Structure 1
Amino acid sequence: MKIITRNVLILSMVSLFTDIASEMLYPVMPVYLRAIGFSVILIGILEGVAEATAGLSKGYFGNLSDATGKRSPFIRIGYALSAISKPMMALFKYPLWVFFSRTTDRLGKGIRTGARDALLSDETTSRYKGRVFGFHRSMDTLGAVFGPLIALLYLVFHPGNYKALFFIAFIPGILSIGITFLIREKKKTVPSLVKKPGFLDFIKYWKVSHAVYRQLLIALLFFALLNSSDVFLLLKIKENGFSDTTVIGIYVFYNFVYAAFSYPLGKLADKTGMKSVLIAGLLFFVAVYAGMAINKSELFYFVLFFLYGIYAAATEGITKAWITNICKEKDTATAIGMYTSFQSICTLLASSITGLVWYAYGGKTALLITAGGVFLIIPYLLLLKPGYKLNKVD
């Protein structure tokens, strides 16, 4: 059986170009917003509104994709909105327009996520889910390697010209839109849609989902409540006096490791089980956060972010592969959408809570609390039944 099919390769290329566009702007976004008059508080509100929009929309559009039996329209619209949001950010400086532009980007992510992951799941069987999701994650994360490097190279020759980067980022965005039209979706027979699902109807899936899905979701959302933004890890490095170049270099190195290990660990998960690889990833996460709390060596920061890249490769794609194996095929986008919706909201809360703890007690305490909390999840996962092969039979 061919594992990396035409659609898997196309979706991976789309994600690669989209992430190049997004990650070109990641290092400069806070600086640009401050330059056009946004305060730190306003930036926080902007990101909060944007993430909440993405979070809630993932569940709704995942449910709608399952209800209509269609994937590609949601994928195309979602990636198109993210692409056009890039130059929109640079056209006007008015706060409401910036809010609209940023929310458009996150809405695009919400529209496409469930449908895209469901289409990836449709392309294979439970035996190869880890490899398929691992390959897609690897290509997606390569964008987080190339994007910042392109931005850094541009700023070397044009220091301070942040606005132009938003227009340059539109180029890979346009390429990603064009590639989506190469998707060949298999026709499905679905019941006639009497009415569109309500905005929060995806929550009803909890009652009809498999018990293993609900048990896994509890663990994943508890983890999300503890797993704050990576910005805090970069902030810890900055607090220890390292340069911006070092910080960005470590961030690029982390994404390179993440991309390099995603497919091999997906393959390992297919052979040994999703649960064992996920637990190993969480142990790496605990070690990294504990190490970040006490470390002050530049060399050891690279070691920690090497381990952090392995953690990411062992969890992100693996989690979605596991979920698609414990839900019915007709509910795949809803199951992914429900998980990613609540994950986005929990992550937003996690960053807020970590920020408050950091402010009150310092970075060391905040990082150690996170490490300790995540360690408590591992015994729960060890007792959890995998529940594999409930979706497709090999």
Structure 2
Amino acid sequence: MYVSESRGSTPAAPAPSVAPDTAAPGTTTASDTARGPRPGRPSAAGPVASTVLALGAVSLITDVSSEMVTAVLPLYLVTGLGLSPLGFGLLDGVYNGFSALVRLVGGHLADRGGRHKSVAALGYGLSALCKPLLLAVHTLPLIGAVLAVDRTGKGLRTAPRDALISLSSAPRARGRAFGVHRAMDTTGALLGPLVAFLILRQAAEGYDAVFTVSFCVAAVGVVVLLLFVPSHVRQASATGASTPLPDKATDRPSLKAAVGLLGRRELRGLTLCAMALGLATVSDSFVYLLLQRRLGVPDRWFALLPLGTAAAFLLLAVPLGRWADRVGRWRVFVGGHFALLAAYGLLLGQLRTGILPYAVLALHGAFYAATDGVLMAAAAGSVPESLRSSGLALVQTGQAAARFVCSIGFGAAWTAFGDRSALSGAAVALALSVVLSLRLRPSPTDRGAPAGTEAGETA
């Protein structure tokens, strides 16, 4: 089921009394000596687990489908249907808010009986079925309902998918594993807008053609998931072997136990930080609309703007994931928001040269590369195996709910005060949120309960 990490031919020395997965930070174990890393440095050697690669392929295909729609949706709604920024903000909030509401449900269902693959497949299938429905709806309430169902599918699948990634990866290489998955996912995000752009240039009924092709591609992703992703995985140890984590009786899957995970100081701190920063994270669609207005980008080129974000994300996801494994995932996560703050600054500045869109989109992609998978890698070390989906869903729910509030608030501020005033407020809020997050930082010496603690995990 897994591609095990490489081992030398020389037998390892007898293991000390402290197991590799529970050794204190900076302690050199026998398995560390056999692989030869420097003391205190996480090892990222060896191939990535085959489960991660299979899930990456599913995400790649699915993102081609979803990003085809995402790339044209803002223009379709604002220009085609004449929505105001407030109306679009409400729809964008629905797009993210419904995902937040069902993440905990998806995480809980996946933990009960280890049905991670089944719940993920349900989520992917539900989102795929929504694509052709966009052909039949043309009013704001109906479009909002279809987007809500689509985001329900995303909410169901995200936590089980990330749990499968974390469970099939050695703790010390978890940041790299998430980086590889996010890089494959972003390859789809890179191809999706390009496909949409080509369809809009060739098809007479461009939007309908985009939605139809998107459905066909999404269906292929579901088939790949069913055929190539294993139904059950067990926690991979620091040496790459498959071994279960020692769960406590109170960690058995239940809604009470899932909510009780917030009693763990490190996980609670990560969740609060994700929420605080999410409240000032402007939606991607608004960033692209702001760029279009600043530079006067023609409508026919709008679908290509997400390519810049996706390209930077693709190039940086694996390097930043590996760097997070070495220097600490918390540092990289917070640092990513400085990149987003710099992007806000460029959008607010007076620079209007041709380099502006490239710089903004590069910083935007760097923000995602430093935060998306890195946050999940950090949170996974604070959650026991039996509640892995539920624990990750808690963090994801807090972040998605905060972004839901931000989308509505930013749309309202844009409508009432203009785009520059709205973005200025978001920039100030982001700077304050970074300061607040630094104060809420989980203590690196507080590693939570033993059931969810793994060596090499740095918040």
Which residue, out of 259, 272, 276, partners 1:222? 276
Query: 1 or 2, which has the higher helix percentage?
Result: 1
Q: Which runs of 5+ in 1 are unaligned?
A: none
What is the rounded CA distance, in whole Å, between the counterparts of 2:76 and 2:142 in structure 1? 15
Which residue, out of 159, 175, 183, partners 2:229? 183
TM norm structure 2: 0.77
Relative to structure 1, the CA distance from residue 202 to residue 29 in structure 2 (aligned partners, 3 Å threshold; closer, same or farther) is farther
Partner of 1:354: 410
What is the rounded CA distance, in whole Å, between the counterparts of 1:174 and 1:281 in structure 2? 33
CA contact (8 A) 1:62 1:115 kept: yes
| 2:164 is equivalent to residue 119 of structure 1 | yes
User: Given residue 331 of structure 2, which amino acid in structure 1 is its aligned partner?
Assistant: S
Partner of 1:146: 191
What is the rounded CA distance, in whole Å, between the counterparts of 1:391 and 1:196 in structure 2? 18
What is the rounded CA distance, in whole Å, between the counterparts of 2:317 and 2:104 in structure 1? 25
Q: Which runs of 5+ in 2 are unaligned?
A: 6-45, 235-243
Question: How far has the Cα of 1:203 moved from its partner?
Answer: 6.8
Secondary structure at 2:231 match in 1: coil
What is the rounded CA distance, in whole Å, between the counterparts of 1:231 and 1:251 in structure 2? 9
Partner of 1:365: 421
Within 5 Å, give how 1:1-394 maps onto structure 2. 1=5, 2-32=46-76, 39-40=83-84, 45-91=90-136, 93=138, 98-181=143-226, 182-186=228-232, 204-208=259-263, 210-240=264-294, 241-294=296-349, 295-382=351-438, 384=441, 385-386=443-444, 390-393=452-455
User: Given residue 226 of structure 1, which amino acid in structure 2 is its aligned partner?
Assistant: A
Q: Which moved more, 1:381-390 or 1:361-370?
A: 381-390
CA contact (8 A) 2:58 2:225 kept: yes
Question: How far has the Cα of 1:212 moved from its partner?
Answer: 1.2
Question: How far has the Cα of 1:332 moved from its partner?
Answer: 1.5
What is the rounded CA distance, in whole Å, between the counterparts of 1:260 and 1:3 in structure 2? 19
Question: How far has the Cα of 1:234 moved from its partner?
Answer: 1.7
Q: Which one has a bigger Cα radius of gyration?
A: 2
Relative to structure 1, the CA distance from residue 203 to residue 48 in structure 2 (aligned partners, 3 Å threshold; closer, same or farther) is farther
Secondary structure at 2:454 match in 1: coil
What is the rounded CA distance, in whole Å, between the counterparts of 1:207 and 1:235 in structure 2? 37
Q: Which moved more, 1:324-333 or 1:97-106?
A: 97-106
Secondary structure at 2:112 match in 1: helix
What is the rounded CA distance, in whole Å, between the counterparts of 2:96 and 2:438 in structure 1? 31
What is the rounded CA distance, in whole Å, between the counterparts of 2:377 and 2:357 in structure 1? 30
CA contact (8 A) 2:310 2:365 kept: yes
What is the rounded CA distance, in whole Å, between the counterparts of 2:424 and 2:435 in structure 1? 19
User: Given residue 337 of structure 1, which amino acid in structure 2 is its aligned partner?
Assistant: A
CA contact (8 A) 2:159 2:393 kept: yes
CA contact (8 A) 2:258 2:391 kept: no
What is the rounded CA distance, in whole Å, between the counterparts of 2:83 and 2:49 in structure 1? 47
CA contact (8 A) 1:24 1:148 kept: yes
Relative to structure 1, the CA distance from residue 138 to residue 45 in structure 2 (aligned partners, 3 Å threshold; closer, same or farther) is same
Question: How far has the Cα of 1:261 moved from its partner?
Answer: 0.7
Q: Which moved more, 1:46-55 or 1:73-82?
A: 46-55
Secondary structure at 1:314 match in 2: helix
What is the rounded CA distance, in whole Å, between the counterparts of 1:347 and 1:84 in structure 2? 25
User: Given residue 453 of structure 2, which amino acid in structure 1 is its aligned partner?
Assistant: N
Question: How far has the Cα of 1:15 moved from its partner?
Answer: 0.6
User: Given residue 62 of structure 1, which amino acid in structure 2 is its aligned partner?
Assistant: G
TM norm structure 1: 0.89
Equivalenced residues, count:
389
CA contact (8 A) 1:61 1:111 kept: yes
Relative to structure 1, the CA distance from residue 36 to residue 332 in structure 2 (aligned partners, 3 Å threshold; closer, same or farther) is same
Relative to structure 1, the CA distance from residue 248 to residue 90 in structure 2 (aligned partners, 3 Å threshold; closer, same or farther) is closer
Relative to structure 1, the CA distance from residue 158 to residue 323 in structure 2 (aligned partners, 3 Å threshold; closer, same or farther) is same
CA contact (8 A) 2:108 2:389 kept: yes
What is the rounded CA distance, in whole Å, between the counterparts of 2:324 and 2:184 in structure 1? 18
User: Given residue 257 of structure 1, which amino acid in structure 2 is its aligned partner?
Assistant: A
User: Given residue 65 of structure 2, which amino acid in structure 1 is its aligned partner?
Assistant: A
User: Given residue 180 of structure 1, which amino acid in structure 2 is its aligned partner?
Assistant: L
What is the rounded CA distance, in whole Å, between the counterparts of 2:123 and 2:73 in structure 1? 21
What is the rounded CA distance, in whole Å, between the counterparts of 1:33 and 1:354 in structure 2? 17
CA contact (8 A) 2:312 2:362 kept: yes
Q: Which moved more, 1:128-137 or 1:150-159?
A: 150-159
Question: How far has the Cα of 1:311 moved from its partner?
Answer: 1.5
User: Given residue 325 of structure 1, which amino acid in structure 2 is its aligned partner?
Assistant: G
Question: How far has the Cα of 1:381 moved from its partner?
Answer: 4.5
1:265-291: CA deviation from partner (whole Å, max 9, x where unpaired):
101111111022122212111111112
CA contact (8 A) 1:284 1:308 kept: yes
What is the rounded CA distance, in whole Å, between the counterparts of 1:196 and 1:391 in structure 2? 18
Secondary structure at 1:28 match in 2: helix
What is the rounded CA distance, in whole Å, between the counterparts of 1:345 and 1:213 in structure 2? 17
What is the rounded CA distance, in whole Å, between the counterparts of 2:276 and 2:437 in structure 1? 12
Secondary structure at 1:22 match in 2: helix
CA RMSD of aligned residues (A): 2.9
